[in-house]
Amino acid sequence: MKPQVNKPGESREFNRKALEEELLQMLNRVWQFTERLVQKNQKLEQIMSIQMKQKKLVPNSELTEAAPDSVHQTWKKRSRVVERENLKLRHENEQLKEVAVISLAQIQNAEQQQATKDLELESLRKQLVELEAKDDGTAKMVRLHRMITQLQVRKK
């Protein structure tokens, strides 16, 4: 058998037909895709239309339930007054917190000073007892000084 040789014109004709078929298929796919997009667009437009109608209804129902302007202005004034009072109370609260912190620091300082005085007094008492315990002349003078001090305190 001889291999069949295509004539030069037949090959071009075959390629042209294949290309036409391929282009037709692509055109059909694009057409179908476009139709689907149109359908989706219509559905979205319907949904948007419904939503817009609902939104138009909502403000109308809100207006029927709305308070008169005079009532609104009254509440607005009250709101401003309450806000000012709230700010004043917050400021006062902050000031009281500062006073409390300062007072606490002063109390702690006073307690430390008292503790220091107590330690100092205890130390002086121990020293006085030690001096009185001695048998020399200094101890006698200390005892005499103590007696004089006690008598002076009693007279007052």
* Nearest to 128, CA basis, from 113, 144, 115: 144
> pTM for the whole thing?
0.40
Q: What is the pLDDT of residue 54?
A: 81
Check if the beta carbon of residue 144 is closer than 8 Å to that of residue 150: no
Task: For the chain, give every domain's residue range.
Answer: 9-60
Q: One-letter amino acid identity for 71? A: V
Q: What is the pLDDT of residues 18-63, one digit of tens each?
A: 888 999 999 999 999 999 999 999 999 999 998 888 877 665 566 6
Q: What is the pLDDT of residues 104-151, one digit of tens each?
A: 999 999 999 999 999 998 988 888 788 777 777 777 787 788 888 888
What is the Cα–Cα distance from 152 to 18, expressed in whole angstroms?
136
User: Band of the pLDDT at 64, cuts 50, 70, 90?
Assistant: low
What is the Cα–Cα distance from 121 to 59, expressed in whole angstroms?
83
